[in-house]
Chains A and B, each alone.
Chain A
Amino acid sequence: MVRKKQEDVYQEFIKGLWRDNPVFVQVLGMCPMLAVTNSAVNALAMGGATFFVLVASSFLVSSLKSWIPKQVRISTYIIIIATFVTVTDFTLEALVPTIHKELGAFIPLIVANCMILGRQEAFASRNSVKLAVIDALGMASGFLFALFALGSVREILGEGALFGVPLFGPHFEPWVIMILPPGGFLTLGLLLLFFNWVKERKDRLAAQLAEGEAS
C-alpha cells in the first residue's frame, strides 16, 4: 500500500517532466514559450517565475478547495494566480531589473498562461495538497525544462553563445533568424518533431516486446 502510494507520488511528478510535458506534449503556454526564449537566461527567468506562480497557486487552491464554492471557483483561481503573478512582477523588478526589462510584458501575461489555470481546474482542486504540490512541481519543472531547451538552442545558434559566454570564437557568423520570432517557431517545431519521434519509437518498442511475450 505504502509502496503504491510512493509510486503514485513519483508518477505525478514525472508525468509533468516527460509524458505530459506542458509544452512538448500538451502544447500549452505557447505565448511566453515563443516570445521570451531568445536567450537561455530569459528562458530560465520566465520558467522560474512560472514555476513559483504555479506551485504557490496549486498549494493555495488545493488547501482552500473546500472553501471555494464551485460557482465562483474560476474567478477565485484567477484572483489567486494574478496575486502571485503581481508579487513576482514587483519582486523581479526590484531584484533583477535587467532581466525584468527583457521579459517586459510577458511577466504580467503569466496570468493568462492556460497551463497554470488548467492545473488548478484539472488537478489542484480535486486532489490533496501534497499531490497538488507534487503535480505542480512536475509540471513547472517540465515547463522550465522546455523553455530552457528552446532558449539555449536559440542562443547557441543565434548568438554563438550560452549564458552570454561565446562558444565558437570570433569567426562564427550568428544565425540572426534564430533569435527572431521565426527562429522560435522553427526550433519549437523541430523539438516537437524530436519528442514525437522518441515517443513513437518507444511505443513501437513496447508493442514489439508485448508481441514477443505473447508468442
Chain B
Amino acid sequence: MSNRPELTMKAPEPTSTRLVVTLGFAGLLSGLIIVSVYEATLPTITAYKAKVLKEAVFKVLPGVSSMRRLTYRDGRMIAATGEEEEEDLVFGGYAADGQLIGYAVPNAGPGFQDTIRLLYGYLPQERKVVGMEILQSRETPGLGDKIYKDAAFVANFDELSIDPEIITVKKGRKSAPNEVDAITGATISSKAVVQIINRGNQRWVPRFSGSETLPKPTPVGAQ
C-alpha cells in the first residue's frame, strides 16, 4: 500500500517506532474503553440472564416460591457448589414451607436448524411434565418457531405423563396422557422438542427417584 507515489511523496517516511507506537497506543486506548464498558454493563447483563432463567423455572413449575441449583453426586441429589458443568445442573423448586415440589430440567438437542435449548418442569411423585419453556432456538420463522409461539403446542406440556415415553402424534389425534399434538408443517421441530425432553428424562428421572433426602433452600428466594 505504501508504494502509492502520492502517499509516500507528501511526507517523509515515518520511522517504524512511530508506526508501532501509534498502533500500540490505539490498541491500548481501545482495550481500556472496552474493558470499562464491559465492567460497567456486566452487572446488568448477568442480572438479566439470572432473571430470565428464574422466570423460566417459576413458569415451568407452577406453585414454586424459591429455587436452587442441584446436582447429582454419589447416588443422590445435592446442592450445587458452583463448579459443575452447565449440563450437570438442574433446578429444584420449593414451596413456601421449604417442601420440594419438583425439578426444572434444562436440556438441549438438535432442532431443524440449530440447537434448541429448553427447560421443562418435572414432578417426580406424579411422574409428569408440567411445563416447557424454550430458552433458545433458531427454528424457521412462521413454522418451526411455533414450538414457543403457538400456545396450543406449549399447552401440550402442561400435563404430560412420561410413561413409557412421550410421543408425538398428528395434530388433533392426542388420546393418551403421554401424547403430544405435533405442529402441522413443523413436525421435525415438534419431534425435536419431545426428543430433548425424553433424553433429559432418561438421564435425570432415575436419579430423582433414588434421592429421598433433598437439600432444602436456606434463604427463601435466594439465587
Residues of A within 8 A of B (CB): 38, 67-72, 74-76, 79-80, 82-83, 86-87, 90-91, 93-95, 97, 158-159, 174, 176, 179-180
Contact = CB atoms under 8 A, between A and B. Distances in A.
A69 B19 contact: yes
A90 B39 CA distance: 10
Nearest to A90: B41
Interface string B138-163: 00111100000000000000000000
A69 B22 contact: yes
Given A86-B37, A93-B41, A94-B45, A68 B141 contact: no
Interface of B: 1-2, 7-8, 11, 14, 18-19, 22-23, 26-27, 29-30, 33-34, 37-38, 40-41, 44-45, 48, 52, 140-143
Contacts, number: 71
A72 B19 CA distance: 7
B136 to A, nearest CB: 8
Contacts of A68: 22
Interface of B (DSSP majority class):
helix
A97 B45 contact: yes
Contacts of A179: 141-142
A159 B26 CA distance: 45
A79 B19 contact: no
A120 to B, nearest CB: 13
A91 B27 contact: no
